[in-house]
Chains A and B, each alone.
Chain A
Amino acid sequence: MKSFFPMRRSEAATLVFLIGFAVFAFLPAWRTAELKGMAVFGWLVAALMVLSPALALTTFVLDRRGARAESDDPGTRPD
């Protein structure tokens, strides 16, 4: 018996990306490097704030479309 309940691959990938991005943003190098007067760390967290909900929304919408297309496909319908 597998130890975990299954998660959709797209959702697992989103989760890994978000955690990876957060770790990347907190790397020490970004605290001293600057862009347009602000530490790159600040820009990365700002990007994370917009990216994280946008990415999760995109994942859910694409998954839902995929599920609908699958249920509409005559080949996958039960007879």
Chain B
Amino acid sequence: MLLERALVGIYLAACIGIGIAVSRRVFGSGDEYWVAGRRIGTVVNSMAIMAALASGGSIIGVMGLAYAQGIPATLALFGGAVVGFPLASILVAKPLRNFGKFTITDFLSFRYPHAVVRYLVPILIVIAFTIYIVAQLKAAGITAEALLGIPYNTALTLATLVFITYVSFGGMVAITWTDVIQGVLMVFVVLGTALVLTWRVGSPFEIMDQATAVAPELGQVSHMPVSGYLGYFIIWATAIPVIPHIVMRVFTAKDAESARMSLNLSMLVYSVMILAAVLAIVPVGRIDFPGLQDADQLFLRVMETQFPPLIRGIAVAAVLAAVMSTTDALLLACSSAIAHDLLGNALRGRASERTLSLVRVGSAWFVGIAALLWAFNPPELISEFYTAGVGILSASLFVPTIAGLWWKRANLAGGVGAVVSGAVAYVVVQVGLLDIGLAPVVVGLAASASAMALGGLLGARESPDMIERIGALHR
């Protein structure tokens, strides 16, 4: 236990060290703070994007889910996010990078200049991402409690203070470099474990044959209605092109081409990692531990029985890295919704750069502490809860963003209608006020698309100047 704690301590100290080291450069400039000066290269950005997407769920959760609900159901959930990245690279990466601002709200408020868009979008982001952060904090607390023997609340407070410190002072530059370290650690641990297990048994196909011989349900599709599989797939596939912590990564790229390449490179690495976990580690774990009460313990049990303490310590750091690399990106995106989208417009021109810097730091601490307090008593079924949070962003932002970039008839009426109707329809179906047998995100997207079509076809045409400016983003 001592060795594991020491390794995790070194890792946490390194994260804070990076935050403090870059804070002097970052503190006085919004461009440096929010988007790392827009000069992140393709390979570094790829690894940072991969780490931002790969949360605790991508190590602990993916294996637990595959163990409990079978491999096909798990791949359907994670496959949606992977497909979302090529969609993002084709549909939004180039025009948004050429737009050259900081957040998705910047683009939507430019395309649909109305107070509803300017205020509703960041409020939706703050709500959805606070829920998302709480889920990640809970994962960090549970992991540290199980593997390091540290009480849940202590572990939660410690991890939260560490990442609020490096995010609030180091901004996107600190997040990028800590995410690169965290991403490499995750890939190393998961791929290394999968390779060792595969080498011991023979080949991935032999592992699957042996595992499904003793547990046929591992490879079957039987745990969820079809609408469930499809709903999760669509939520993530449509969320990725508009979800703020990924969109901010597009703005950090040195140019549009680099943004597109890094989105796809990151997903190649992520897919290989997820497939290695699900097709190698899970089947071996299913054979060795047939009756686990808590499926999320699978990876930890495999590590305990198959590897020495040093490797186990690195594995604990990798799990915490997965949690923190997503949480820090979420925290920055959430604080940007407050400091940049909501307060920034009101303060710009009236406040000094130092005041704006303090607002940025204060926002990160405000969101982080609020999430910490909630995470002391987190809701049950947290993964469903945060997927629902992401769902509202898909339902309300996907259509207006894509139409705003590609459809010349998209106009103010359509944009405002699409944001509002997508959010309202999603919430109505999600909370059970209306049940028509379709996933909430499908209903939300359909409502949003209908509002956009009606507004675009029946409302006033967009000005030639706006059409020209959007056209320039594609060149």
Residues of A within 8 A of B (CB): 1-7, 11, 14-15, 18, 22, 26, 28, 31-32, 34, 36-39, 41-42, 45-46, 48-50, 52-57, 60, 64
Kindly provide the distance from the CB of A13 to the nearest chain B CB, expressed in whole angstroms.
10
Name the prevailing secondary structure of the A interface residues: helix
- Residues in A with CB closer than 8 Å to B72 are 31, 38-39, 41-42, 45
- Looking at B24-32, B85-93, B316-324, B371-379, the stretch in contact with chain A turns out to be B85-93
Chain B residue at smallest Cβ distance from A26 = B230
Stretch of B11-19, B266-274, B381-389 lying at the A interface: B266-274
CB-based contact A18/B75 at 8 Å = no
Give the distance to chain B from A30, nearest Cβ to Cβ, in Å.
8
> Could you tell me if A6 and B264 are in contact, using CB atoms closer than 8 angstroms?
no
Say whether A22 contacts B233, CB under 8 Å.
yes
26 residue pairs A–B, Cβ–Cβ below 8 Å: A4-B407, A5-B406, A7-B406, A15-B87, A22-B233, A26-B229, A26-B230, A26-B233, A31-B72, A36-B212, A37-B208, A37-B209, A38-B208, A42-B70, A42-B219, A49-B75, A49-B275, A50-B268, A50-B271, A53-B82, A53-B86, A53-B264, A53-B267, A56-B86, A57-B261, A60-B261
Tell me whether B360 is interfacial, beta carbon within 8 Å: no
| Distance in Å: Cβ of B65 to nearest Cβ of chain A | 13
Q: Is the interface of B mostly helix, strand, loop or mixed?
A: helix
Q: Which residues of A contact B362 (CB under 8 A)?
A: none
Known pairs A45-B72, A46-B79, A64-B257 / 17 extra A-B pairs, C-beta < 8 Å = A4-B408, A14-B90, A22-B233, A31-B72, A31-B226, A38-B208, A39-B219, A41-B72, A42-B219, A49-B83, A50-B268, A50-B272, A52-B83, A53-B85, A53-B266, A54-B264, A56-B90
How many Å lie between the Cα of A6 and that of B76 in the bound state? 32
Instruction: Give the distance to chain B from A19, nearest Cβ to Cβ, in Å.
Output: 9
CB distance from B208 to the nearest CB of A (A): 5
Given A4-B407, A60-B257: A37 touches B89 (CB 8 Å cut-off): no
| Max count, chain A CB within 10 A of own CB: residue among B205, B221, B272 | B221
